[in-house]
Structure 1
Amino acid sequence: MLFGQLNADIFTLFSGSNRHLYEHVLVKIYEDFFRSDLRFPTQSEVVSLIYERLGHSAELWREDETPVTFDQVVTGRGRRIRRRSLEIADTGASSEAMVRARHIYIRLLATGWLEETRYGLKVTVDMPPGAMRLAEFLCALREGMSEQLGGLVVQVRNELEALQVNARDNALGLHKAARDAASFGRYLRSVLSALREVDRQVLASDSIGRRLRHYFEDFVERVLLQDYAVITTTSHPYRFRHRIFAALDALEDSVLDIGVLTDAYLEARLAKDLPAARDIVFDDLSKIRRVFQRIEEAFERIQQHRARLETRLRNTVRYAGRRSGSFLMRSEPLLLQLDKLQESHGRTLGIPGPLEPRQSPLSPFLLARSRNARAPIVSGILLLPSAEPLRELRKRLEREHLDRLTVTSEQVSRFVERRVPPFGETEAANFWIDTIDDFLAFEALRLAVAASGDTPEDVHQLVAHLRESFSFQRSDGADVDNAWLACNGFRVQRKDDRVTLEGHDHAK
């Protein structure tokens, strides 16, 4: 839950009239102490930093808040903050700034942005994880909304091609590629949002100077020279699109690669079981495909906004001189002279010839058409497209193949019970293997016998289940060497005559 990780009053810091000052101080504290260095500042260091920020931004303080006053910020035997004893310093202003600094520090503690930690007699200040993520987001906003994500398309292509070379070692690269593709989609949205914001600011400008400033500072410098230049050069949406789709098709058609990716996702604890891990694999592949299939509409909108803003800029510069009044000042004397000339001749001035007077057409086809009545929404049966039989067959075969690779403890028990008599003992070298299911069961049995402390949890569960009816002992003499595999030998002893039924297999 969001508010389970954050203080209930964490956003109230920015609800008052001093929100700009709090934002300025909080970002400075985060950048100096918690963003990149593993520093553990004391109370006096934090308050000293707030005091310095107040000196640089004293105009941001508003008197709406009543400062909290207390004699000493540090507790216990902490060292007081000493003011610099300068002859030119204003003692009253310094005391007032110190009271404000202590008030800001207490507000940061009360709203959950900072917390105090005691190590013996030493008290240090730390920032909670949730507040640290919010502070990082504030720093990103101050540094600019334009994200410099120029190499995302190249990263997605490299990660997908690495999977084709070695899917087992680079399996987690697919999950990162899905996150990079989503980041590229958000990047295109941020460019489009920046263009819309510039458009709104230009329309809201009340003077030519402000309009031109928005054009050149916001549109040209911040968007055209940064974001738009990136997506049209190094991160052009169509640069590696074909190769990305080819890599996705190859991964989806390879059952072996899907199985390897599923096992890697399960080992990385991205899912709790094999079906959930397989769903995450296909979901990551689908995320990448959806992003690069839908970039055409986003890029077309970006081009339309850019062209419209450039046209407005051209028209603004073209007609800027006509709005200044110089045109009216030049035309007024000329019109007065024409009026006097017309009165002196006593007739209407005109140009002789076959020219007809210009008339404006008033055709009904030029008028705006009335809006038609909306058709009512009628409920009915939605016709869904039929599934492709070949694709459904491939999915079913893939599921059956992955389910077959998942060997249960009941399968291993039935395999051993057929080869070891009740209360008897048999060498593993004498176990016959007829089918692939027998081979998978024997492989699971071999891993259970060789289990150690660093083996996976499912192997430990298999060992615990088998030891209820069997005991194992390693044998150095008779090694297993047949047409299926070669491994160290071991001996299996059956403790009872229990028989595992087919119905107990939960995987069937």
Structure 2
Amino acid sequence: MFDRIETFRRQLEARVRNTIRYAERGAQGLVGRAGDLVRRLDALLREGGHEEATVEWTIEPLRSPWPEHHQAPARQLRRPVEARELAGPPSDPLYELRKRIRLECIARIAPRPEDVKRFLERQVPPFATKEARFMEIGTVDDFLAFDCARHYALTGDVPAQIAADFDAQPSLDTAPHDSEWLRCTNFVVRRSGTPAKGRAIHAWRI
């Protein structure tokens, strides 16, 4: 591509030079007008008596109609290609804000095991068992954590972080959980722990 551009540039410069050279050979060019001036001056000198004679002539200023910074720069030596680090993409505050809000939304609608564990710790007392139909849901985060716990109970796929302290089992033969948030199959969550020495611990249902 660069070779083709260089070839076109050379051809264009050659055509411009030829155009100017042939234009100056005509009677309307600078050469033709200068020749006419010389002949007129020679005629005055031959006649004599006109040592101070003047000839009407217009001097055209050789000025370019374009400013200097619009002229093509002179050719220079080709600089070698240098390896440089690519500049990073421009920072867009709105894009960064939307990205942060999106990540926060994804993290909220998919509670982590520690979030579900904290919810169950508030709902189920130590060494006790509690049914889902008696659990209270007060916020959106509580609802999302409750729904995850229900999924753990129905599928039996309880994360190890939760299984160490809680055991969730479905309870299909009991009344379902029915609240303003949702209506779903009941399940039972049992909380385990290390009992105090010499104290009998009994599982109780709320």
- Return the match for 1:466 from 146, 162, 186: 162
Is 2:17 aligned against 1:365? yes
After superposition, where does 1:317-356 map in structure 2 within 5 Å? Answer: none
TM-score, length of structure 2 as denominator length: 0.51
Distance of 1:441 and 1:387 partners within structure 2: 36
Q: Deviations over 1:404-459 (max 9, x none)?
A: 2232222111111111111112121121112222111111100111006xxxxxxx
Query: Does residue 481 in structure 1 map to residue 178 in structure 2?
Result: yes
1:435 maps to amino acid: T
Distance 1:473 1:379 in 2: 63
Return closer, same or farther for 1:433/1:389 CA change in 2, 3 Å cut-off: same
Which residue matches 2:190? 493
Percent sequence identity over aligned pairs: 38
Task: Give the alignment of 1:125-136 within 5 angstroms.
Answer: none
Q: Equivalent residue for 2:142?
A: 438
Task: Describe the shift of the 1:411–1:384 C-alpha distance in structure 2 as closer, same or farther (beyond 3 A).
Answer: closer
1:381, 1:490 → 2: CA distance?
58
Amino acid across the alignment from 1:396:
R
Task: Output the CA distance in 2 between the equivalents of 1:461 and 1:474.
Answer: 13
Rounded to whole Å, the distance in 2 between the matches of 1:397 and 1:496 is: 38
**Are 2:93 and 1:397 aligned?**
no
Greater RCO (Cα-Cα under 8 Å, separation 6 or more):
2
Moved over 6 A (4+): 376-383
SS where residue 477 of structure 1 aligns? coil
- TM-fit CA distance, 1:366: 4.4
Shift of 1:461: 5.0
| Runs of 5+ consecutive residues of structure 2 not aligned to the other structure | 1-13, 20-73, 196-206
Structural RMSD (CA): 3.4
Gaps of 5+ in 1: 1-361, 453-459, 499-508
Letter in 2 for 1:471: D
Bigger radius of gyration: 2
Report which of the two has the higher share of helix.
1
CA, structure 1 residues 473+497, in 2 after alignment: closer, same or farther (shift >3 Å)? same
- Give the conservation status (yes or no) of the 8 Å contact 1:470–1:492: yes
The answer for the alignment partner of 2:62 in structure 1 is: none
Is this contact kept in 2: 1:428–1:489, CA < 8 A? yes
SS in 1 for 2:188: strand
SS in 2 for 1:450: helix
